[in-house]
Amino acid sequence: MFPSVLDPGPSPGSLSEAGPSGTFGLELDLTTSDLRLLSDADLMDAVVGFEAMVSWAAARQFAVLAEFSRRGGDGSIRPVTSAVPAREWAGTEVAMALTLSPGAGEVRLAQAIRLDGVLRPTRDLLEAGRLDVSRVRLILDRLAVVSDHHAAVVQERVLPAAPDQTWAQLSAALRRAILAVDPDGAAEHHQAAQKERRVDVFPGEDGMATVWARMSAPEAASSFQWLTRLARGMGVEDPRTLGQRRADLAAAALTGKLIIRDPGATDVVATAPVTPGKPLITVVVPHSTLIGAEDEPCEIAGYGPIPAHLARDVAADAVWRRLVTDPLTGAVLDHGRTTYRPPAVLADHVRARDLTCRAPGCRRAATTCELDHVMPWQDEGTTSEDNLVCLCTAHHDLKEQPGWQVTLHPDRSLEWTTPTGHTYRTEPHDHRPRQGPPHSARRAAATTPDGREEPRRGRPTPPQRPPHPPRRDTGTSAGPLPYPGAVQARDG
């Protein structure tokens, strides 16, 4: 019976424990037949329920496609382990049925086959509604060039946390796991990718264009941080947004000059060359990697994982400060310093602890964040580690909006309560090393049953078109990054 004022039936939230299924979908449809009867919290539960149904339907479609791929036109059925469709034109049939291009049909079928094989645990999470389609396609894309053995190991490492991660967090976790599982392959891929560095210009609409640059991750992160530092230095009276300032500064630098207003004058504009030092970027490096004993993956705050050799290059090419951490608890124990600016000791400690903005799903680097008093200063809040967290400007503003509540717990976890009563937690950066076999053991494991080394999959051709133009300055995400030490590169 459809819900009514007299008989509202179960709320969407009461259905969430059952998990998605055809029956669940029917109950959810009946429960939400009159949206006006639902509370704000019920509406949000319904959003989650329908999202789970989308995932469930996609998983069932992948299962059907995998079964279709095994069936030959003559009635024969290939074994589950086969990675090749039984019908030569199976992908074309799929493309026609779903109004896809032939290539897209082949890809869809290949994805279904892999999700029915080595990536079956990923499909199981999709069917349970714990992963959405976009994150599953991300896993498929990242592991498309990885051998089945390495794909299984990477999957085992990332899946436990994946349901609670955003797309960007999962992307970083996948890169990190691939670097850890196959560091030699990652180094080879980076060297090959370095040959593809370039700058292109693409025309846009309304008299605009995109300048697109492909370079190493440290260079890109440093470039962006330097532009940000210059942009922030223009003063609050500048009417342009931070993004507009960055664009204008980049254009001025690339055309040979920067326009700088003389701070001692009010109506004089001077032109001067700029020779910037290296901006501050945060690179988290295990001590064993820093000294060359291991090749565990490293991390650029706000960007994500990078190969070990690249992190060592960054550390060798900069004045850096060390953060010694407890390998068991991940707590910052000692703060080495090369410069001093009050209240830098406390600010650096909190930024090293958090590494990114502490809002759910945001991975804005802590070096660009504001330090927020969780309990406001005017309400007797203290300026201490126990009351400070890193928040980007947008989430700092959000925290102050009516109906939002933020609580910092003794374990430094930060709990966000939304106006609808839903709660979400974020954790400080975990500096502990990820447990796993040593590099030599990983290499020994990457063999076929007869002892031959399992071949790596080929790296696809880099895209010739740029990604979509960047969005406005909004938070992105990153998961916990368990490494035992950190290096912050700085030039004076």
* CA dist., res. 246 & res. 214, Å (int): 18
Please check whether residues 235 and 378 belong to one and the same domain. Answer: no
Q: Tokens for 103, please give them.
A: 């290539």
Please check whether residues 367 and 481 belong to one and the same domain. Answer: yes
- Is the CB of residue 335 less than 8 Å from the CB of residue 351? no
> Which H or E element spans position 127?
helix 120-127
Q: What is the pLDDT of residues 166-213, one digit of tens each?
A: 999 999 999 989 988 888 777 787 888 888 899 988 877 777 888 999
Longest dimension (CA), the chain: 86
39 SS3 class: coil
Please check whether residues 302 and 265 belong to one and the same domain. Answer: no
Of 80, 159, 171, which is closest to residue 125 (Cα–Cα)?
Answer: 159
* CA dist., res. 322 & res. 335, Å (int): 7
Please tell me the total number of residues recorded for the chain in this structure. 492
Q: State mean pLDDT over 316-330.
A: 52
Please check whether residues 285 and 352 belong to one and the same domain. Answer: yes
Of 221, 220, 281, which is closest to residue 489 (Cα–Cα)?
Answer: 281
> Quick check: 261 pLDDT over 60?
no
Residue 265 within a domain: yes
Of 169, 217, 174, which is closest to residue 480 (Cα–Cα)?
Answer: 169
Burial of 329 from C-beta contacts in 10 A (0-12 / 13-18 / 19+): exposed
Q: Which amino acid is at 290?
A: L
Specify the range with the lowest mean pLDDT, choosing from 73-82, 148-157, 224-233.
73-82
**Of the residues 242, 272, 302, the one at which a domain ends:** 272
Q: What is the pLDDT of residues 12-61, one digit of tens each?
A: 555 445 678 888 999 999 999 999 999 999 999 999 999 999 999 999 99
> Quick check: 333 pLDDT over 60?
no
Residue 1 within a domain: no
Residue 334 within a domain: yes
Of 134, 168, 133, 170, which is closest to residue 155 (Cα–Cα)?
Answer: 170
Burial of 21 from C-beta contacts in 10 A (0-12 / 13-18 / 19+): middle
Q: Tokens for 157, please give them.
A: 């490492």
Q: What is the pLDDT of residue 177?
A: 92
Q: State mean pLDDT over 352-366.
A: 87
- Is the CB of residue 433 less than 8 Å from the CB of residue 484? yes
Specify the range with the lowest mean pLDDT, choosing from 122-126, 134-138, 369-373.
369-373
Q: What is the pLDDT of residue 264?
A: 40
Residues 6+ apart with CB under 8 A from 90: 68, 69, 109
458 SS3 class: coil
Look up the pTM and report it. Answer: 0.61
Q: Tokens for 433, please give them.
A: 């090393």
Q: State mean pLDDT over 107-115.
A: 94
Please check whether residues 482 and 371 belong to one and the same domain. Answer: yes
Please check whether residues 485 and 351 belong to one and the same domain. Answer: yes
Of 216, 178, 175, 215, which is closest to residue 305 (Cα–Cα)?
Answer: 175
> Which H or E element spans position 239?
none
- Is the CB of residue 180 less than 8 Å from the CB of residue 298? no
**Of the residues 251, 272, 293, the one at which a domain ends:** 272
Give backbone dihedrals phi and psi of 426, rounded to 5 degrees, phi first: -125, 155
Q: How many domains does the chain have?
A: 3
Residue 30 within a domain: yes
Strands 405-408 and 281-284, by their bridges, are: unpaired
Residue 444 within a domain: no
Whole domain around residue 340: which residue ranges?
281-432+472-490
- Is the CB of residue 427 less than 8 Å from the CB of residue 412? yes
**Of the residues 246, 272, 298, the one at which a domain ends:** 272
**Confidence at 480, pLDDT banded by 50, 70, 90:** very low
Please check whether residues 314 and 349 belong to one and the same domain. Answer: yes
Q: What is the pLDDT of residue 83?
A: 57
327 SS3 class: coil
Please check whether residues 308 and 358 belong to one and the same domain. Answer: yes
- Is the CB of residue 258 less than 8 Å from the CB of residue 272? yes
Q: Tokens for 158, please give them.
A: 């990332």
* CA dist., res. 179 & res. 137, Å (int): 19
Q: What is the pLDDT of residue 62?
A: 96
> Quick check: 462 pLDDT over 90?
no
* CA dist., res. 217 & res. 215, Å (int): 6
Q: Which amino acid is at 293?
A: A
What residues are paired with 334 via a beta bridge?
324
- Is the CB of residue 249 less than 8 Å from the CB of residue 227? yes
Please check whether residues 342 and 484 belong to one and the same domain. Answer: yes
Residue 284 CB coordination number (10 Å): 27
Please check whether residues 377 and 321 belong to one and the same domain. Answer: yes
Specify the range with the lowest mean pLDDT, choosing from 6-10, 136-140, 253-257.
6-10
Q: State mean pLDDT over 316-325.
A: 52
- Is the CB of residue 113 less than 8 Å from the CB of residue 83? yes
Q: What is the pLDDT of residues 375-412, one digit of tens each?
A: 887 787 788 788 889 999 989 998 998 889 999 998 88
Residue 439 within a domain: no
